[in-house]
């Protein structure tokens, strides 16, 4: 099952539905499972169902798709006891979100209430406010506030006669206000703090600015958020915002305790939120994008290299077929492994590679504006990952 290919929801849905039928998982248990995947923190390192048994080596974005779908289905299933009208309800929910003057996100118009329609919506929803090229190749691609959709969907199912856009906007503003206040508890701001705040800001859909004059938790309307998911989400995002490699100072701890008290959580749950962040980050540091963004240029190259390599591996058979019909391209790519190509040769390679990208849907991303700058990576990895395509067309064979 490939979450980047059409039809993934229909392949995955029976598994999550079976699990929901058999497990009788309560909201607290489901939230805890989702928290451990990293989805709540804005970076999915695993999924609730597959965990370390992924059919493919999924990337962060693909896991986030599955986690978002599972959470939306869980909310609906827990209220209705089945998934009969799930697609109709969830597509209607997103359609209502997208009818405001400032749309919640772009990418779909009059989507049909089907699995295919929901796939398009989820794909669009995962994107942050990065530029197009960064959206497709940056490791910060995944929207950090995706769980807000789940909370808004839960609210929508109970308040269909009210404006879900207003609710989502108010809750998003409340989350960012909490995160901003939490950052202000720190005596010294680290590079991580700035990057994390930047990631949250790029995930905003309704609110472009914060009221930085607010300094007291009592000034926030916390009581209106009375569901478990909403309250836990506020607490855990705040715990993430005050996280530090070495210690949590008294100001930060007191701030968290005050928040936990206002949210009607006992001290144990509040402290567990802090320990949960620490455990997650220390266990998954290498996979957490906002901890590995020290050099934007280096980061961009490393991430794009990884993305291009994954695309080639997943489309290996199709690429072999296309390459077998492009003998001139194979010869030129073979030459590129032993010498620099001439300007005319590079132009021929680019033209023929773009023709192949047109015929392989998953590689159509190279046709997007700016995608051409990534073709050198494609040229680099094809000989490395598809050596069999060059066995009969090595440069020396052509010169003999």
Residues spanned by the domain of 231: 8-291
Q: Which of 133-137, 199-203, 321-325 reaches the highest mean pLDDT?
A: 321-325
Same domain, 246 and 318: no
More confidently predicted of 268 and 51: 268
**Is 363 contained in some domain?**
yes
Given a contact cutoff of 8 angstroms between Cβ atoms, the answer to whether 154 and 75 are in contact is yes
81 pLDDT more than 90: no
Express each pLDDT in 274-305 by its tens digit.
888 888 888 887 776 655 554 444 444 555 66
Total-model pTM: 0.71
387 pLDDT more than 80: no
- The reported pLDDT for the residue numbered 259 is 93
Same domain, 252 and 322: no
372 pLDDT more than 90: no
**Is 3 contained in some domain?**
no
Domain final residue pick, 291, 312, 347: 291
More confidently predicted of 342 and 316: 342
308 pLDDT more than 90: no
- In the predicted model, what is the mean pLDDT of the chain? 78
**Is 2 contained in some domain?**
no
Same domain, 271 and 324: no
Six-digit token string for 186: 């720190």
User: Among 118-127, 160-169, 170-179, 239-248, which stretch is predicted with the lowest mean pLDDT?
Assistant: 239-248
- Tally the domains of the chain: 2
Same domain, 233 and 158: yes
Residue 187 DSSP symbol: S
Query: Cα dihedral sign for 354, 359, 360, 365?
Result: positive
**Is 112 contained in some domain?**
yes
Question: How long is the chain?
Answer: 400
Same domain, 82 and 216: yes
**Is 78 contained in some domain?**
yes
- The reported pLDDT for the residue numbered 141 is 40
Domain final residue pick, 291, 321, 350: 291
- The reported pLDDT for the residue numbered 379 is 74
**Is 83 contained in some domain?**
yes
101 pLDDT more than 50: no
Same domain, 316 and 227: no
Same domain, 255 and 329: no
Span 310-316, average pLDDT: 77
Same domain, 29 and 127: yes
**Is 239 contained in some domain?**
yes
Same domain, 170 and 118: yes
Same domain, 275 and 311: no
Span 208-226, average pLDDT: 75
More confidently predicted of 213 and 323: 323
What residues have CB less than 8 Å from 282, skipping those under 6 apart?
none
- The reported pLDDT for the residue numbered 189 is 61
Express each pLDDT in 349-370 by its tens digit.
888 888 888 777 667 666 655 5
186 pLDDT more than 50: yes
Provide the 3-class DSSP secondary structure of residue 142.
strand
Same domain, 90 and 23: yes
d(CA 29, CA 35): 10
Domain final residue pick, 254, 276, 291: 291
What residues have CB less than 8 Å from 33, skipping those under 6 apart?
25, 48
Residue whose tokens read 């990895």? 381
Return the closest-CA partner of residue 236 out of 272, 186, 206, 289. Answer: 272
- The reported pLDDT for the residue numbered 216 is 79
247 pLDDT more than 80: no
Same domain, 280 and 301: no
Integer CA distances (angstroms), 186 to 216, 252, 253, in order: 15, 7, 10
- The reported pLDDT for the residue numbered 8 is 93
Provide the 3-class DSSP secondary structure of residue 344.
helix
């Amino acid at each position: 099952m490939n979450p980047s290919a059409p039809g993934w929801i229909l392949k995955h849905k029976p598994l999550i539905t079976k699990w929901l039928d058999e497990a009788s998982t309560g909201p607290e248990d489901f939230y805890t499972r989702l928290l451990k995947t990293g989805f709540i923190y804005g970076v999915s390192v695993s999924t609730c169902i597959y965990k370390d048994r992924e059919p493919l080596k999924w990337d962060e974005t693909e896991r986030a798709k599955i986690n978002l779908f599972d959470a939306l289905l869980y909310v609906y299933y827990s209220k209705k006891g089945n998934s009969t009208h799930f697609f109709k309800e969830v597509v209607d929910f997103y359609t209502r979100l997208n009818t405001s003057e400032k749309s919640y996100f772009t990418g779909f118009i009059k989507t049909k209430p089907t699995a295919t329609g929901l796939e398009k919506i989820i794909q669009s929803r995962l994107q942050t406010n990065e530029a197009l090229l960064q959206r497709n190749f940056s490791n910060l691609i995944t929207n950090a506030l995706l769980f807000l959709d789940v909370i808004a969907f839960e609210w929508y199912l109970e308040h269909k006669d009210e404006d879900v856009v207003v609710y989502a906007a108010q809750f998003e503003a409340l989350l960012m206000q909490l995160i901003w206040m939490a950052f202000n508890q720190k005596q010294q701001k680290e590079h991580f703090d700035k990057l994390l705040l930047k990631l949250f800001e790029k995930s905003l859909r309704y609110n472009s600015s914060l009221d930085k004059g607010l300094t007291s938790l009592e000034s926030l309307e916390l009581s209106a958020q009375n569901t478990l998911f909403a309250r836990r989400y506020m607490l855990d995002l705040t715990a993430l915002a005050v996280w530090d490699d070495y210690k949590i100072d008294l100001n930060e701890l007191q701030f968290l305790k005050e928040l936990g008290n206002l949210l009607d959580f006992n001290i144990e749950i509040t402290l567990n939120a802090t320990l949960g962040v620490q455990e997650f980050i220390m266990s998954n540091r290498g996979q957490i994008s906002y901890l590995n963004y020290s050099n934007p240029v280096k980061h961009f190259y490393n991430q794009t290299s990884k993305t291009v390599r994954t695309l080639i591996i997943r489309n290996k058979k199709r690429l072999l077929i296309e390459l077998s019909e492009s003998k001139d391209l194979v010869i030129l790519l073979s030459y590129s492994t032993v010498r620099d190509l001439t300007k005319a040769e590079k132009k021929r390679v680019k033209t023929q590679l773009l023709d192949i990208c047109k015929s392989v849907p998953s590689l159509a991303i190279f046709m997007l504006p700016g995608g051409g700058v990534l073709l050198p990576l494609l040229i680099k990895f094809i000989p490395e990952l598809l050596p069999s395509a060059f066995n009969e067309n090595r440069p020396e064979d052509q010169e003999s």
